[in-house]
């Protein structure tokens, strides 16, 4: 294998491994949720549609050109491919995308309420996690709503009455954002049950984001 093949194989293997983690970490159930990696300017790898995560092998993971043509992989691409493509098209900084139906965050999605920063780890996502307008799953329209909600810099949005979409420079980091969003949603839910959680100001979240960025350099 040349180096391009090796990196493509590793990306498809990461999709298999993190797909299994989605179930282990209670971020989704059954075959729900999906993950993708930007391979180069013109290709992404995305989890296959309808295959249980425990059974996905790297050779099953479809490689798709940005025009939507499947160029490799035994499986059909996730039905949410249009949403993933829309994110890579609009956000050149994004290298990985994760979509989950994680229960606490999706609770807020069903209420149509953003998740505010009542815990500092929300800084991984932005200053709050916004909510899109409702669109039917697996449509181009849902992708358009998602990229609009993400804007130029947010790493997470709720998809109204549906779930969560997270992004980062790599798939592993987008997966971490998905975990942080679910954790922050749970804490905010629990704190709201007992009392009135304090929300951190945007300036503090920006300060934390500066510190988080410097860890990665």
Residue located via tokens 């998905």: 178
Question: Between 19 and 163, whose beta carbon lies closer to Zn ion?
Answer: 163
Cβ closer to Zn ion: 48 or 163? 163
Instruction: For the CB of residue 128, give the shortest distance to Zn ion in the complex, in Å.
Output: 21
Residue 143's φ and ψ, nearest 5 degrees, are -60, -40
Decide: helix, strand or coil at residue 80: coil
Q: Which residues bind Zn ion (CB under 5 A)?
A: 163
Residue 86's H or E segment, with its range, is helix 81-90
Which of these is catalytic: 80, 135, 145, 168?
80
Q: Least Å distance between CB 71 and Zn ion?
A: 24
Residue of minimal CB distance from Zn ion?
163
Identify whether 145 is a catalytic site residue: no
Kindly tell me which of 79 and 190 has the beta carbon lying closer to Zn ion.
79
**Phi and psi of 34, rounded to 5°?**
-160, 160
Q: Which are the contacts of 179, defined by CB distance < 8 A and separation ≥ 6?
A: 25, 27
Residue 44 in contact with residue 68, Cβ under 8 Å?
no
In the complex, minimum distance from the CB of residue 103 to Zn ion, in angstroms, rounded to a whole number: 13
Handedness of CA 191, 197, 203, 207 (dihedral sign): negative
For Zn ion, give the closer residue by CB, 63 or 158: 158
Which are the catalytic amino acids? Answer: 80
């Amino acid at each position: 294998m040349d180096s391009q093949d090796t990196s493509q194989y590793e990306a498809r293997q990461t999709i298999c491994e993190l797909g299994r983690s989605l179930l282990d970490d209670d971020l989704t159930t059954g075959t729900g949720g999906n993950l993708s990696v930007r391979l180069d300017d013109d290709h992404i790898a995305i989890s296959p549609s309808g295959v249980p995560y425990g059974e996905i092998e790297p050779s099953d993971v479809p490689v798709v050109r940005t025009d939507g043509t499947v160029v490799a992989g035994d499986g059909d691409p996730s039905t949410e491919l249009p949403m993933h493509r829309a994110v890579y098209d609009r956000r050149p900084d994004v290298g990985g995308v994760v979509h989950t139906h994680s229960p606490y965050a999706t609770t807020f999605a069903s209420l149509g309420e953003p998740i505010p920063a009542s815990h500092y780890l929300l800084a991984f996502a932005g200053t709050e996690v916004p909510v899109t307008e409702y669109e039917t799953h697996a449509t181009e329209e849902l992708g358009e709503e998602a990229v609009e909600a993400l804007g130029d810099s947010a790493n997470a949005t709720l998809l109204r009455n549906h779930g969560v979409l997270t992004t980062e420079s790599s798939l592993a980091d987008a997966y971490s954002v998905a975990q942080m969003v679910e954790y922050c949603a749970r804490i905010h839910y629990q704190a709201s049950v007992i009392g009135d959680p304090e929300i951190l100001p945007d300036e503090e979240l920006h300060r934390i984001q500066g510190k988080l960025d410097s860890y990665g350099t």
